[in-house]
Structure 1
């Protein structure tokens, strides 16, 4: 380990102390296992750029250690596996083919496939598959405020956060940006009740009828007062509102379009192959 540490320090010094390294230096061995050699050049290519000297040293020592262990394992495998077990040509051929096909598909996807999903597409899918979007938790739209106990104008704050008037909402936001420890206006998006409850010392009551009969919830600890205004809600086991699942639907539709694109590509290439007579059946 001392030798590896010294070697690592020396290598990092060589790699970071000058911009130009001679061919003799880069071909110098770093470690050897039964005739298999790791050179400075191979190590230099493996080290990520923009690492500090300390990080480079840590990476170097780890890389050398892993290289030695993997080379020892490979040596044992070569000695102990039968010729049939060591014949991996077909596996490598299949793996290479899979990699090349995947790279070509990704290249065409970037060049020709549009990832655009319209709101109408999301809405149509939601309407057709709504039974797949059943809520497993309560969700709400509203306002959350965490405010110091000694904050000014708390009575006005309570009036503003309970009001539906646009001018009161403006006053609320101005006040909270100046005084609140945490302020979240989520009137235009759906948030799980648990997400809001986790921000408070006492969670929102887990009562089936609480959201139905309560529009506000307040609690306190030794330093702060917490307020939640519920403007709308959906209960567990109801169909989720479309805004709550739109990102999930978009991901589903993007994947469907991607699969359809690849299937169409395969069919086009098949028809092209038949036309060009590069396909033969025996």
Structure 2
């Protein structure tokens, strides 16, 4: 037995239990089996029981609100039941048949979708290696054109009354090992900070975080290797630009890694399902569970 069918068999027991539970519930509804408790309301042969509304109520709701919630629920339930009954009487046979087909198809879709997801969870390999990401990036990089400028920067926002600004500027520019240790040690005094200058940040995010920078003036401040010092009523903003990627350039791999990973996982999922469906059909044919009747000529 191949790998996909082994997965199919292993999931079958778990899914079968779920299927049995749903069938039991469906049969209860089909044969209108009534609980032992007294009903709260009736419309024709349909009954509403206390158990049906227990999820609506909680200890935090007072008695008056509870009564109002229950009354509204009962009325809405009754309206739906009455409309459903009248629809069965007043709709044409063709319309009812069409709706029944839709319901049947939707029921099948729900079961098969849940079953496929269970199979995928059991059998899909979600490991994506760096080499796979790199290979896909090299093959498809022309499809990853930037629609927004990206910037790598280290940045701090200081309170306006900060006393040691010049040393922070010097260390932020140089940013050697000792400088990083020093800046980390006083980081609690900064209003905002970002020392990870390998992270690509969209300009729209920078405009949000640094109010003196806007879409109108960002070209002046967000240039490769540039240092900026800006100020407004909220504080002083110091930043050192490490690198820039402009609109219409190819996005850096580190920026689009999550996107590529999801694309590869989606492709793998589709391929897994195609292979599984083919194997299910082949196995059914071998076991004479599935056949197509040829029309007589």
Matches within 5 A, 1:1-282: 26-29=37-40, 31-33=41-43, 36-44=46-54, 46-47=55-56, 52-53=60-61, 57=66, 60=70, 63-64=73-74, 66-87=76-97, 88-176=99-187, 178-204=188-214, 206=217, 208=219, 211-212=222-223, 215-282=226-293
Sort the Cα spacing of 1:195 and 1:268 in 2 relative to 1 into closer, same or farther, 3 A.
Answer: same
- Note the C-alpha offset of 1:136: 0.8
Sort the Cα spacing of 1:213 and 1:280 in 2 relative to 1 into closer, same or farther, 3 A.
Answer: closer
Distance 1:59 1:263 in 2: 48
Distance 1:92 1:67 in 2: 20
TM-score using structure 2 length? 0.76
Equivalent pair of 1:201/1:219 in contact (CA under 8 Å): no
* Aligned partner of residue 189 in structure 1, secondary structure: coil
Distance 1:54 1:130 in 2: 60
- Note the C-alpha offset of 1:59: 6.1
* Matched pairs, number: 255
Structure 1 unmatched ranges of 5 or more = 1-22
Aligned to 1:18: none
Distance 1:175 1:103 in 2: 52
Distance 2:90 2:155 in 1: 66
TM-score using structure 1 length? 0.80
CA RMSD between the two structures: 2.7
Structure 2 unmatched ranges of 5 or more = 1-34
Output one character per residue of 1:33-79: Cα deviation in whole Å (capped at 9) or x when no partner.
Answer: 566432212112x438x773259848656644542443343244234
